[in-house]
Amino acid sequence: MPKTATSILLLLVLFSSYGIASAAVGTLAIGYLEFKDDPHYRETFLESRYPAQPWGRPFDGAQLAIKESRFAAMAVGVEFKLERRSAVSMEALIRAYEDLYADGVRFFVLDLPDGMVAELAARTKPSAGLLFNISALDDKLRQSECQSHLMHIVPSRVMLTDALAQFLVFKKWRSLLVLRGSQPGDDRLYAAFARSAKRFGLKIEDTKDFLLGRDPRKRDQNNVALLTAGVDYDVVYVVDSQSEFARDVPYQVQKSRPVVGAAGLVPDWWHWAWERNGAPQVNKRFVRLAKRHMTGYDWAAWMAVKIIAEAVLRTNSSNLAELVEYIRGDEFKVDGSKGYPLNFRKWNNQLRQPIFLTIPNWVVERAPLRGFLHQINNLDTLGFDERENQCRL
Amino acid sequence: MRLAFPTLLLLLICTAQPTYAKGTGFVFVSSEKDHVVTVFRPGTLKEIKKISTGQRPRSMRFSPDRSKVYVACGDDDSIDVIDVEQLKVVRSIPIGDDPDRFDVSPDGKFIYASNEDEGLLTIYDIVNDKVVAEIPVGEEPEGVLASPDNKYVYVASEVSNMVHVIDVKSHELTANIVVGTRPRRIALTPNRSELWVTNEIGGSVSIIDKVTNKVVEEIAFQPKGFRPEEVTPVGIHITQDGKRAYVTLGHANHVAVVDVPSRQVKQYVLVGRRAWGVALSADESTLYVVNGKSDDMSVIDTRNMKVIRSVPAGRVPHDVVVDN
């Protein structure tokens, strides 16, 4: 605290000498790394407008934040700039990182699949730069595969499943029928769900594995009515990382029960229909730039750049170590237009944040829900708390 | 604005219409989602009238002569003008995209308004009915305050975390003052030496020395039973003697009473949910606070800081002003 206070004071003192029209004295370039063949961004997938999935490349979110940081840039006399590199392979990605590093880039925004984030973080030196994960939800990245120089802007899967579990407890819809997919990623999503179910005391009446398709010999696995007949339950919980099967579930269920998970009520970390905390203005600015609504991935890209700019403004420094210390510190506070001051969990570098429970054109609730309390910060009722931590930074 | 007695007398004589006189004490509450300004009688808190306005009325200000209430209607891109005698909208000023907070120049001739979506401060000439300037500022500009000498306009930007200082004549930004996170509203101390700025996400008030344009202190709030992250200060009102500031704490559902000279928080008073707008009666014995998430207004006796009443105040009440 005293250190931060000092640096803020120092900043204020410096301001007077900078005056208002101080020209940029240097450039602070931010690397933006993406994978060219990322399955997240296949055309047909994007056009499906699945909830809590990307609707386009999130680069526009980063650009929006650059634009919004112009007064901070003016105040400290730097120019923020994005260096976008689209890699075709893991090796190309490493080369892109190294080239940017050689050019003096120390901040990197990573729009990459889970595995590539893990590998890049493992193969780069913690002292060499700060990485911001804006798309990988994998829980392992926050636990056994965590890295001290890897900051997570997007929530982990367990933060999402915890938020939904809180909602189910709040509604007293504790009895679940689970429909589980078998695509890559579904097993990890199921593990996150199972942990949340246990943590919040949800009761799994039955778990059924579904298959995509119309094969009449596999009707008991590909027909939603058959899958949801039989045992009774309060809700159908769909575990489907690809969202394609899930979208057909809400009105094909056998019983008149709500559907949650990958369709129906979906946990998400941004939603264009959130109407508080200045969120409509953020979405409008994004729409103007990207010609589409803003998703959680776009929000994460926007936040990553905002966090860097905020740290530069408040410390009046471009020194990596100083900025990292500030960003990871207790006094750090950034506004994400979701209504809480946001900062990072010390034990795994995850950005604390509220999670929305959403339907296609509305936010039904914001987690943490009322009544879910934590001894230090209620946002830590979502995801891996310090006592469950397996990350060694 | 205090009128000399002969002027007041003259005004009374000249006013032929047997309508509401000035200084009625009427309480005006804007509510965002039902597009009305509700007028209450002081004391009884009886609803006198619901005045239909443009879409999404939010911030309100009186004209210096107290004859008009200006109300920003965000979704109609206008500032509507309510005639206080007739209690109805008599004019609609096209102020540009999504007006949020604004101020009226001390001579009553200009409006300085934040355009929330565009990141602009619009200067509007009320007399000649035209836009004089659109000045780019940080995104999501909010609180606006015109200095009493009409030389500067102060605008808080929620995204850039700054208060921009604009020279009224040249339309230039003369300073950018870094404050706390997500600054919302600005109040001037009656001795004109300090600006108090609420920081919604910072959970604090930044005090700016008006001479140096620097933050000299930050006041944090910690009402019992609330976490720091739940404390979201928005509204602020300073008493005429410069002794007390009332700060509404948003989601912490309290009003903080701050001793201005010592900058110490003296007390927290429980009000409704998401307390934002705040105003005082003429004698400052009654404090009005509007609560956006419980759709009501808390009425507080400032002598003992007890909530006397809580009255329904439209759908998502936003701001409150008193004809005093």
Q: Are the Cβ atoms of A285 and B117 closer than 8 angstroms? A: yes
Chain A CB within 8 Å of residue B159 CB: yes
Cβ proximity of A141 and A133 under 8 Å: yes
pLDDT of B310 over the 50 cut: yes
Chain A CB within 8 Å of residue B116 CB: yes
pLDDT of A15 over the 50 cut: no
Q: CA–CA separation, B180 vs A265, rounded Å?
A: 36
Residue located via tokens 């005045």: B51
A313-327 residue pLDDT tens = 999 988 899 999 999
What is the structure's pLDDT at B184?
97
pLDDT of B256 over the 70 cut: yes
pLDDT of A2 over the 50 cut: no
**Rg over CA atoms, chain B:** 18
CA B170 centroid distance within chain = 26
pLDDT of B147 over the 70 cut: yes
In terms of C-beta density within 10 A (0-12 exposed, 13-18 middle, 19 or more buried), how is residue B6 classed?
A: exposed
Q: Give the pLDDT band (50/70/90) at residue B309.
A: very high
Q: Are strands B47-52 and B57-62 parallel, antiparallel or unpaired?
A: unpaired
B69-94 residue pLDDT tens = 999 999 999 999 999 999 999 999 99
Chain A CB within 8 Å of residue B57 CB: no
What is the structure's pLDDT at A393?
86
Chain A CB within 8 Å of residue B54 CB: no
Backbone angles phi, psi at A122, to 5 degrees: -75, -30
Q: CA–CA separation, A210 vs B137, rounded Å?
A: 53
Smallest CA–CA distance, residue B275 to chain A, in Å, is 14
Q: How far apart are the first and last CA of chain A?
A: 22
> Which residues of B fall within a CB distance of 8 Å from A72?
160-161
Q: For chain A, what is the total number of helices (H) and then of strands (E)?
A: 13, 14
What is the structure's pLDDT at B20?
67
Q: Shortest CB distance from B158 goes to which of A11, A72, A278? A: A278
H or E element that contains B8: helix B5-14
Chain A CB within 8 Å of residue B212 CB: yes
Mean pLDDT of the B245-249 span = 98
Nearest 5°: CA angle at B314, between B49 and B271? 115
What is the structure's pLDDT at B4?
53
pLDDT of A45 over the 50 cut: yes
Smallest CA–CA distance, residue A112 to chain B, in Å, is 28
Chain A CB within 8 Å of residue B183 CB: no
Q: How far is CA A281 from CA A284, B16, B158, in A?
A: 5, 46, 11
Q: Shortest CB distance from B178 goes to which of A11, A281, A341? A: A11
In terms of C-beta density within 10 A (0-12 exposed, 13-18 middle, 19 or more buried), how is residue A272 classed?
A: buried
What is the structure's pLDDT at B21?
62
What is the structure's pLDDT at A164?
98
At B315, the amino acid letter reads R
Query: How many Cβ atoms sit within 10 Å of the Cβ of residue A23?
Result: 8
Q: CA–CA separation, B62 vs A58, rounded Å?
A: 44
Q: Note which residues in 259-288 of chain B have CB less than 8 A from chain A.
A: none
pLDDT of A25 over the 80 cut: no
What is the structure's pLDDT at B7?
53
Q: Are the Cβ atoms of B214 and A15 closer than 8 angstroms? A: yes
Residue located via tokens 């905020």: A310
Nearest to B105 by CA among B153, B46, B166, B47: B153
Q: Are the Cβ atoms of A11 and B202 closer than 8 angstroms? A: no
Q: In what order do the strands lie in the sheet with B306-312?
A: B275-280, B286-291, B296-301, B306-312
Nearest CA in chain B to A335: B201
Q: CA–CA separation, B217 vs B20, rounded Å?
A: 44
What is the structure's pLDDT at A9?
41
Q: CA–CA separation, B106 vs B1, rounded Å?
A: 9
For helices A296-315 and A320-327, what crossing angle results, to 10°?
120
Give the mutation candidate from A76, A275, A333, A378 for the B interface (greatest B CB count, under 10 A): A333
A244-293 residue pLDDT tens = 999 999 999 999 999 999 999 999 999 999 999 999 999 999 999 999 99
Q: Are the Cβ atoms of A333 and B158 closer than 8 angstroms? A: no
CATH of the structural domain A158-268, one choice from 3.40.50.2300, 3.40.50.620, 2.120.10.30, 3.30.365.10:
3.40.50.2300
Nearest CA in chain B to A11: B178
What is the structure's pLDDT at A21?
40
Chain A CB within 8 Å of residue B55 CB: no
> Which residues of A fall within a CB distance of 8 Å from B251?
339
pLDDT, greater one: A126 or A316? A316
At B308, the amino acid letter reads I
> Which residues of B fall within a CB distance of 8 Å from A75?
162, 176, 178
pLDDT of A83 over the 60 cut: yes
Mean pLDDT of the A342-368 span = 97
Here the ipTM equals: 0.85
Q: Are the Cβ atoms of A281 and B212 closer than 8 angstroms? A: no
Least confident stretch, A4-18, A88-102, B280-294:
A4-18
Chain A CB within 8 Å of residue B173 CB: yes
pTM here is: 0.89
Least confident stretch, A11-20, B26-35, B127-136:
A11-20
CATH number of A2-155+271-353: 3.40.50.2300
A215-244 residue pLDDT tens = 999 999 999 999 999 999 999 999 999 999
> Which residues of A fall within a CB distance of 8 Å from B182?
278, 335
Nearest CA in chain A to B208: A12
Q: Where in chain A is CATH 3.40.50.2300?
A: 2-155+271-353, 158-268
Q: Shortest CB distance from A68 goes to which of B139, B200, B202? A: B139
Nearest CA in chain B to A374: B227
Q: Are the Cβ atoms of B160 and A16 closer than 8 angstroms? A: no
Q: Two tokens at A328?
A: 């990871």
What is the structure's pLDDT at B118?
86
Residues of A with CB under 8 A from a CB of B: 11-12, 15-16, 20, 68, 71-72, 74-75, 278, 281, 284-285, 310, 313-314, 333-335, 339-341, 377-379
Sign of the CA dihedral running A127, A6, B208, B228 = positive
Query: How many Cβ atoms sit within 10 Å of the Cβ of residue A215?
Result: 10
Give the mutation candidate from A10, A316, A335 for the B interface (greatest B CB count, under 10 A): A335
Q: Mean pLDDT over all residues of chain A?
A: 92
Smallest CA–CA distance, residue B1 to chain A, in Å, is 33
Nearest CA in chain A to B137: A71
Q: Are the Cβ atoms of B181 and A15 closer than 8 angstroms? A: no
pLDDT of A12 over the 80 cut: no
Nearest CA in chain A to B140: A281
Q: Are strands B194-199 and B204-209 parallel, antiparallel or unpaired?
A: antiparallel
Smallest CA–CA distance, residue B286 to chain A, in Å, is 29
